[in-house]
Structure 1
């Protein structure tokens, strides 16, 4: 008797909404899949909630597919665009995320945070010069551009602009009270690329003291950055000798 009523669309909508509001996304997903009726649904609200439920479960490909269907109908929906950009980044498709952040910034030129998001996506895509343009635009747009200093410094290093990178790392080390070991690590890389080996070692030694996991964690991070140092044309022998110096040097 109850089954007949439970299968009515209006009842399913109420149940799905109940589950969605209480964050039971797994169960809500199943109902939204049924309610969107395959690929023919034009109810953007249902498609958005279906996509969000999928995204909350880490099912980003499926979430993106649901969002894309909704966006084809509701092309001006900025909530959808932001969710799609997030999914693209999680799916390691940063160039598509950067395109969305460009669209959003064209609509909201006063929302400077979009420039940071676009720049970060471009860094993930390896477009360091384009990322710099976005970060510099952010820096020019806000009074306090501290959030852009780290990505700017790293992109300058990756694009071979070591003097400018050194200047930015200097600002970070002088003004930021929340320094991390990666700040010293990257400042060391910049000094090493400039041939300032003693200065680089000083940065690395201080960086070890800031590393929660001590020398082991710091050296693992250094090793992971070896390809970047080789790309900066640092002598391979020097790159491999640095960890030995750090292992022998007392903290």
Structure 2
């Protein structure tokens, strides 16, 4: 494509390649997700008819029924369309689903036509062109010269228009390019697009979208390897890595992967950025640590968070995540140390109070744990988690009546969870109310899905029941009562 190559040649490789890399990742990894969202969520929702109350509506009125807007809001379409709009602004390919059914025209049987730059004077569509009036820029011309559609989609749009009845096509053309002059804003947009740097990014995105359609929609696509099934991680290619891993671009690429949940690759690039350029950047140590925490490498995450702490001490976010990782590693003293640091900065956080209480409970410091749990129960509008903790803490410390009180409160909720039924069963068993205990165990078993799963979870608590005086033999036999 000579037009694209000449534009791209105007910029250096190091300036254009990072954008091309992100555009390739958008097409190979995001377009399928967007296409799926369009086909399975947005289009089906828009095809549904809201239940409209037409009684009393004047036939001559042109007012929109307000129920339509309510239906749109309830369906979630507004949020989904807003999300797609944001994706389009970022350069994502949001039109693959729309145009995938419009590639059956004879024009697309020739392989080279999939890569033609759009030309309004192309012989089969020239009749749609309104001519060249320098004083007027038609809306159709603006559409065709914008970066909204890639080239093959523009051809699809034009061929679709040509298939319309002439009268309908005429009306549509009048709407698009009748006597309207382009606004100054749109003229400025066209002027911007003619500038080399913007144009280079636009041309590369157009070409990649065309390329994606070719590999996904061409009638003989199964005869060749689909490059968009590859990882397209150009930064791992020796000849290109130096440009992509440049200090001005590596973080942009890592951030893109991070925000699109490609965590392993993002972590590798953050590591490279730290090693090559940014050993004193606390934020990068945090981002890399967060990735290792997300993928379950808690020990490595702790190392990265500690490095960040050396560079920017007493950061509440960093301390909270250090506490979380230490807790996952079973190091409750260190977890508590960092939770307490966070508490100094966020003394009103009820979620933090709950986490501190759970650490204290794991350290068997039950009286201190209960103080935190009671605080949460008193202040939280939804105190169920605090009540679960109070119930279990009370049971473990032998305060069975208090445990019974709190599990009874949980049982009065509309939908108690499996653990509530199980633990309430433990309390009533220790209180020698066996029938009630079996009733609650049966409820827990129903939520487990199978007897075997119930027995597995029940046996986890056997050691705690034995500490409260339960007979081990009886505990072995009791689950059989549920069969």
**TM-score, length of structure 1 as denominator length:** 0.84
Compute the displacement of 1:56 (Å). Answer: 3.0
Match of 2:476 in 1: 240
Instruction: Tell me if structure 2 keeps the 8 A contact 1:173–1:179.
Output: yes
Higher relative contact order (CA 8 A, sep 6+): 2
Match of 2:98 in 1: none
State whether structure 2 residue 448 is matched by structure 1 residue 218: no
Map 1:20-99 onto structure 2 (within 5 A): 20-37=258-275, 41-99=279-337
Match of 1:195 in 2: 432
Change in 2 beyond 3 A, CA 1:132/1:44: same
Match of 2:405 in 1: 167
2:349 is aligned, of 111, 114, 132, to 111
Does the residue aligned with 2:275 lie in a helix, a strand or coil? coil
Runs of 4 or more, structure 1, over 4 Å off, are: 1-7
Match of 2:360 in 1: 122
RMSD: 2.5
Change in 2 beyond 3 A, CA 1:29/1:177: same
Match of 2:389 in 1: 151
Q: Which has the higher helix share?
A: 1
CA distance in structure 2 between the partners assigned to 1:224 and 1:30 by the alignment:
38
Change in 2 beyond 3 A, CA 1:144/1:244: closer
CA distance in structure 1 between the partners assigned to 2:275 and 2:477 by the alignment:
63
1:129-181 alpha-carbon deviations (Å, 9 max, x no partner) = 3322221122233354233111110111111111110111111112x111123
State whether structure 2 residue 363 is matched by structure 1 residue 133: no
State whether structure 2 residue 460 is matched by structure 1 residue 229: no
Does the residue aligned with 1:202 lie in a helix, a strand or coil? helix
Match of 2:165 in 1: none
Does the residue aligned with 1:177 lie in a helix, a strand or coil? coil
Match of 1:182 in 2: 419
Instruction: Tell me if structure 1 keeps the 8 A contact 2:316–2:345.
Output: no
Change in 2 beyond 3 A, CA 1:7/1:107: closer
Compute the displacement of 1:229 (Å). Answer: 1.0
Question: How many residues align structurally?
Answer: 244
Compute the displacement of 1:189 (Å). Answer: 0.9
Does the residue aligned with 1:183 lie in a helix, a strand or coil? helix
**TM-score, length of structure 2 as denominator length:** 0.46
Change in 2 beyond 3 A, CA 1:54/1:15: same
CA distance in structure 2 between the partners assigned to 1:182 and 1:3 by the alignment:
52
Change in 2 beyond 3 A, CA 1:198/1:60: same
> Unaligned regions of 5+ residues in structure 1, if any?
none
Higher mean C-alpha deviation, range 154-163 or range 23-32: 23-32
Does the residue aligned with 2:416 lie in a helix, a strand or coil? coil
1:48-79 alpha-carbon deviations (Å, 9 max, x no partner) = 12212323332221121111110122123222
CA distance in structure 2 between the partners assigned to 1:74 and 1:4 by the alignment:
30
CA distance in structure 1 between the partners assigned to 2:346 and 2:416 by the alignment:
32
1:208-239 alpha-carbon deviations (Å, 9 max, x no partner) = 3x324233322332222211110001123332
Instruction: Tell me if structure 2 keeps the 8 A contact 1:211–1:217.
Output: no
Compute the displacement of 1:82 (Å). Answer: 2.1
Does the residue aligned with 2:248 lie in a helix, a strand or coil? helix
Compute the displacement of 1:117 (Å). Answer: 1.6
CA distance in structure 2 between the partners assigned to 1:103 and 1:55 by the alignment:
20
